[in-house]
Amino acid sequence: MKPHPKKSLGQHFLADTNYCHKIVRFAHVGPGETVVEIGPGTGQLTRVLLATAKRVIAIEFDAYMVRHLQTELLENLNDPQHQLQLLQADVLNLDWDSVLGPTPIRIIGNLPYNISTRILSNLLTVKNRLVDCTVMVQKEVAQRILADPCSSDYGFFTLLMEYHFQRVPGFDVPAGVFVPKPKVMSSVIKLIPQSPPHPVSDYAAFLELLKIAFQQRRKTLFNNLKSCHQAASLSLALESCDIDARARPQEVTLKQFVCLAEHLTA
What CATH number does residue 221 fall under? 1.10.8.100
* Domain match, 65 and 140 both: yes
* Domain match, 62 and 155 both: yes
Query: SS3 for the chain, per residue?
Result: CCCCCCHHHCCCEECCHHHHHHHHHHHCCCCCCEEEEECCCCCHHHHHHHCCCCEEEEEECCHHHHHHHHHHHHCCCCCCCCEEEEEECCHHHCCHHHCCCCCCEEEEEECCHHHHHHHHHHHHHHHHHEEEEEEEEEHHHHHHHHCCCCCCCCCHHHHHHHHHEEEEEEEEECHHHEECCCCCCEEEEEEEECCCCCCCCCHHHHHHHHHHHCCCCCCCHHHHHCCCCCHHHHHHHHHHCCCCCCCCHHHCCHHHHHHHHHHHCC
Whether residue 64 lies inside any domain: the answer is yes
Choosing from 161, 193, 225, the residue where a domain stops is 193
* Domain match, 240 and 212 both: yes
Whether residue 33 lies inside any domain: the answer is yes
For residue 94, which of 59, 51, 137, 70 has the smallest C-alpha distance? 59
* Domain match, 177 and 212 both: no
Whether residue 27 lies inside any domain: the answer is yes
Say what angle helices 156-164 and 254-264 make with each other, to 10 degrees: 90
Could you give phi then psi for residue 97, rounded to 5 degrees?
-65, -25
- Number of domains the chain is built from: 2
pLDDT at 39 over 80: yes
pLDDT at 76 over 80: no
Whether residue 59 lies inside any domain: the answer is yes
Q: 51 has which bridge partners?
A: none
pLDDT at 50 over 60: yes
Choosing from 145, 173, 193, the residue where a domain stops is 193
pLDDT at 166 over 60: yes
**CB–CB of 196/164 below 8 Å?**
yes
**CB neighbours of 193 closer than 8 A, spacing ≥ 6?**
127, 128, 130, 132, 164, 165
* Domain match, 142 and 226 both: no
pTM of the predicted model as reported, rounded to 2 decimal places? 0.92
pLDDT number for residue 3:
57
Min mean pLDDT across 25-39, 137-151, 173-187 is at 173-187
Range of the domain at 242: 203-264
pLDDT number for residue 148:
97
* Domain match, 132 and 209 both: no
* Exposed/middle/buried for residue 54 (C-beta within 10 Å: 0-12, 13-18, 19+): middle
Whether residue 198 lies inside any domain: the answer is no
* Domain match, 35 and 159 both: yes
Choosing from 168, 193, 218, the residue where a domain stops is 193
* Domain match, 71 and 28 both: yes
* Domain match, 130 and 85 both: yes
* Domain match, 34 and 88 both: yes
* CA angle centred on 7, ends 48 and 49, rounded to 5°: 10
The string of pLDDT tens digits covering residues 175-216 is 999 876 878 899 999 999 999 999 999 999 999 999 999 999
pLDDT number for residue 78:
60
* Domain match, 189 and 222 both: no
- The pLDDT of 5-16, averaged and rounded, is 64
* Domain match, 144 and 209 both: no
Q: Confidence band (pLDDT; 50, 70, 90) for 119? A: very high
